[in-house]
Amino acid sequence: MSNLSDIGTIKDIMQRHGFSFSKGLGQNFLINPSVCPRMAEQCGADARTGVLEIGPGIGVLTAELARRARKVAAVELDDRLLPVLDETLRDFDNVRVVHGDVMKLDLAALIAECFADCEKVAVCANLPYYITSPVIMMLLESRLPVSAITVMVQKEAADRLCAGVGSRESGAVTVAVHYYAEPELLFKVSRGSFMPSPNVDSAVIRLSVREEPAVDVGDEGVFFGMVRAGFSQRRKTLANSLTSGGFLKREEAARALADAGIPANTRIEALDMGQLANLSRNIVHLRCQ
Ligand code: SAM
């Protein structure tokens, strides 16, 4: 089998298949030979596990996953890569390549169909950067039967996703990730590890999906609405950020904050998960009155 992280091999494949990189599809292919084996090891791929990969490219990570996992299902949007993957993955009988947009496919049905004989399911991917957060949020919010999500993302996104809730680096996506999972930064990957080389470094993170959400928020719609309103104007005080976008009336915000014991001039980025959940439950309570 050819070495799919070798630049000469990639160029040969591209030439024979008349393939050129699409920037719009986030096509930066891995050329650092140590990265894919590490990702495959650390994502939990083993003989009991089905692995869902998003964006296999020419199959460099897919092959490492297939060597370890029971089964691999790899979703690729770019139809020009399908004949390439036919060629590069032909030695594996446990890989299924699915043509489609990961944001539009019925992943629950795909998992049920492909991984019926697997004890657990993991996601592993070098994500296209233009949809990093939407993909991660879709995977978490749709409550797929997935135990862990191990993904390569831009370093800045990794820092944001893995930041502590209540820290200055946190954002709405940080809170959402901590609600559904326990995030962890596994290792950094330099920009020179990709072809073409992007302008920024990357990192591999793992989100270990919780069996139950981290906190009781009363109502998820209210909780995430509150988090979005708060972080959309994160430099404002909570009394202002929760009211200026119309999420709460001024007197409701004052009451919910007071009941939660949170000073009205606090910024949302200063609240930990327990305080956010408490505030959300108070808003739910107020709305029921
Ligand atoms: N896994 C390969 C690697 O590590 O070298 C390629 C990773 S590249 C960063 C991202 C891949 O995702 C590309 O193959 C791209 O065509 C594919 N892709 C982009 N948008 C997609 C989408 N919405 N659904 C599925 N695949 C997508």
**173 domain-assigned:** yes
DSSP 142-186: TT-S-SEEEEEEEHHHHHHHHSPTTSTT--HHHHHHHHHEEEEEE
DSSP 6-72: -HHHHHHHHHHHT----TTTT--EE--TTHHHHHHHHTT-STTEEEEEE--TTTHHHHHHHHHSSEE
Q: Does residue 226 sit in the same domain as residue 201?
A: no
The answer to whether the CB of 268 falls within 8 A of the CB of 169 is: no
**90 domain-assigned:** yes
Give the distance (Å) from ligand 1 centre to CA of residue 27.
6
Q: Does residue 56 sit in the same domain as residue 138?
A: yes
Q: Does residue 123 sit in the same domain as residue 176?
A: yes
- Among protein residues, the one with the nearest Cα to ligand 1's atom 11 is 55
Q: Does residue 188 sit in the same domain as residue 83?
A: yes
Q: Which H/E stretch holds residue 3?
A: none
Ranges of the chain whose pLDDT falls below 70: 1
In DSSP terms, which residues pair with 189 in a beta bridge?
202
Give the distance (Å) from ligand 1 centre to CA of residue 84.
13
**CATH code (residue 257):** 1.10.8.100
- Where among 209, 243, 274 does a domain terminate? 209
* pLDDT score for 103: 98
Q: Does residue 60 sit in the same domain as residue 159?
A: yes
How far is it, in rounded angstroms, from Cα 102 to Cα 259?
Answer: 42
Could you give the maximum distance between any two Cα atoms of the chain, in Å? 68
The two three-digit tokens of residue 117, written as one number? 């004989």
- Where among 170, 190, 209 does a domain terminate? 209
Q: Does residue 241 sit in the same domain as residue 110?
A: no
Q: Which domain holds residue 247?
A: 220-288
Give the distance (Å) from ligand 1 centre to CA of residue 37.
18
* pLDDT score for 1: 67
pTM assigned to the model:
0.95
Give the distance (Å) from ligand 1 centre to CA of residue 26.
6
Q: Does residue 145 sit in the same domain as residue 268?
A: no
Q: Does residue 191 sit in the same domain as residue 237?
A: no
The two three-digit tokens of residue 46, written as one number? 């083993």
* pLDDT score for 2: 80
Q: How many other β-carbons are positioned within 10 Å of the β-carbon of residue 171?
A: 18
Instruction: Tell me which of 78, 95, 97, 101 to substitute to probe ligand 1's pocket, judged by most ligand atoms within 8 Å of the beta carbon.
Output: 78
Residues 6+ apart with CB under 8 A from 250: 239, 243
- Where among 190, 209, 228 does a domain terminate? 209
Q: pLDDT tens digits for 73-104?
A: 999 999 999 999 999 999 999 999 999 999 99
Ligand 1 shell residues, CB under 6 Å: 25-30, 54-57, 60-61, 75-78, 81, 101-103, 126, 128, 131
**1 domain-assigned:** no
Atom of ligand 1 nearest to the CA of 102: 24
CA angle 71, 53, 31 (to 5 degrees): 110
- Among protein residues, the one with the nearest Cα to ligand 1's atom 12 is 55
* pLDDT score for 289: 77
Atom of ligand 1 nearest to the CA of 78: 16
Q: pLDDT tens digits for 217-233?
A: 999 999 999 999 999 99
Q: Does residue 263 sit in the same domain as residue 243?
A: yes
In DSSP terms, which residues pair with 41 in a beta bridge?
none
Region for residue 236 given its phi and psi (left: phi exceeds 0; alpha: psi -120 to 50; beta: otherwise): beta
Give the distance (Å) from ligand 1 centre to CA of residue 58.
9
